[in-house]
Amino acid sequence: MKILVLNAGSSSCKYKLFNMDDHSVLCQGLVERIGDPTTGALTHKIAPDTDKEEKIALEEPFKDHAVALNKVIALLTDKDKGVIKDTNEISVIGHRVLHGGYFQTTPALVDEKCKKTIRDAFPLGPLHNPPNYTGIEVAEKLFPNVPNVAVFDTAFGMQMPEEAYTYALPKALSKELQIRRYGFHGTSHIYLVNRGAAFMHKPLEQFNCITLHLGNGSSLGCAQNGKCIDTSMGLTPLEGLVMGTRCGSIDPAIVPYIISQKGISAQEVDTIMNKKSGLLGLCGQTDLRDIHRMADKENNADAILARKILIRSIKKTLGSFFFLLEGKVDCLIFSAGIGENDAYVRSQVVKGLEGLGICMDQEKNATRSGDERDISTADSKVKILVIPTNEELQIALTAQEVLAKSKS
C-alpha cells in the first residue's frame, strides 16, 4: 500500500509518499512561494535519507496549489525518475488539517460533511484551515479515484475530559463561540505516546507519560492510560509555553491594557503576541543555537534571561502534569527540534528532579543521535526518552486505519 501525505499551507505544500509495507519514504518534497507570479521553488527528494537519495530542484512560478500539485504528480510518475506508474497506485491521501472545531474529535474520511466541518472551523484556524481545505479540494480533482482522509491537529486534545478543556467563562458564551481548550501538535503527541509505549514494552492502555514537543512552536502533552488528559496549548497555539515568537500564557488583562495604552487594535496585539514575542521579543533571536552563543560566549543578559524564562515555562508545565498523573509517570519524552537536539535544555528541564525519581544520565544526554533512546540513569524510576517525532508517518498510519474502517 502507498499513501501520500499532504500538508498544504497558504503559499506552500509539503508532501511525502510512503510505502506502508515497511513505512519507507519513497519520495518527499516541498513546494514554496505558491501564488508568487515571478518565482516559485520545488524541492523533490527520491529515497530520502538513504544512500540512493536523489534530489531534484526546480524554480518556476506556481500560480496556485493545483499547478503545484500537477508538477508534483509529474515528478511522482516521471518515466525515468518516478516512483509510481500512475496516481491509481496511491491507496489514500492523508491531509494535515489544523482545526476540526468543537465537534470533530477524530480523523475522518473526507466527504461533504467533513469539508463543512473544516470550513466551519475557519474562524478558529484562519491561517491554516483555508489552505488545508484548498489542498483537499485540489487533491480530489487531481486524484479522482483516491480517497482522502483529514487528520486533525486537535485530535489528541479532543480526548481531554471536560474539566480539562473547559475555560471558566460564561457557559453560554463558550458554547456559542466554540471556546474550549483544543490543544495542537496532536499528531506529534499521538505518535510519541505510541512510540513511547512500544519503547517501554507497555500496553498503551496502561501507559502514562508526558510528551515534550519542543521546537519553534512548543507544547506539552499529558497522557494517562494512553489517552490525553491535558495539553499546554488552548483555543489557539498561543497558550502555554514560551516559544520562538509566541509569548505563551500571560495575564489576559495585558491585552486590553496594551490596547488602551497604545491605541492599537486587538488584531495588532494578536500579531505582537504570536509573531513578535517569545524568545524573539526577549532577546531578538529565535534559534536556540544563537541564544546559547549569545548567553555563553558573549554573556548577553537578554539571551541569558530568555533562556531562563523558556526553561522555567517548560518546567512549570511539566510539574503540573506530573501532579495530574499523581506521580505515576512511566516516562518523559523529549521531541521536535529543541527536544531532540538540545542537550542543555533537556538537562535544565529535569535538573533537581531526582527526588521525584527523574534522573538523567548526563553522558547519554550529551551524545547526539537520531535514534530513539533512553537518556536516564539505570535506577531512574521515571525514564527520560528522546524520540524523534514523525508526524507525516502518523498521518499515514491514521489514514490507513480510517480507510480500513470505512471498508469494513
What is the C-alpha separation between 247 and 234, in angstroms, rounded?
13
**Identified catalytic residue from 80, 153, 302, 361:** 153
Nine cell digits for residue 189: 503527541
Beta strands in 153-292 (DSSP E): 209-213, 219-224, 227-231
Distance, in Å, from the CA atom of 154 to the CA atom of 263, rounded to the nearest integer, reads 34
- End-to-end CA gap in the chain: 17
Could you give the C-alpha distances from 345 to 31, 302, 318, in angstroms and in order?
32, 17, 13
**All cell numbers assigned to 149:** 482522509
Residue 36 dihedral angles phi and psi, to the nearest 5°: -75, 120
How far, in Å, CA of 105 to CA of 190, rounded? Answer: 14
The residues facing 25 across adjacent strands are 18
Question: Using CA atoms in the order 134, 135, 140, 146, what is the torsion angle rounded to 10 degrees?
Answer: -160
3-state secondary structure of 138: helix
Asked if 156 and 27 count as a contact pair (C-beta separation under 8 A), the reply is no
d(CA 140, CA 119): 16
Strands, DSSP E only, in 318-407?
331-335, 373-374, 383-386
Element (H, E) at 400: helix 391-407
Angle between helices 391-407 and 186-200 (to 10 degrees): 90
**CA-wise closest residue to 36 among 68, 8, 7:** 68
Residue 380's identity, in one-letter code, is S
Q: Cite the beta strand spans of 270-398 per DSSP E.
A: 331-335, 373-374, 383-386
Residue 21 annotated to the active site: no
Burial class (CB in 10 A: 0-12, 13-18, 19+), 18: buried
Active site residues: 153
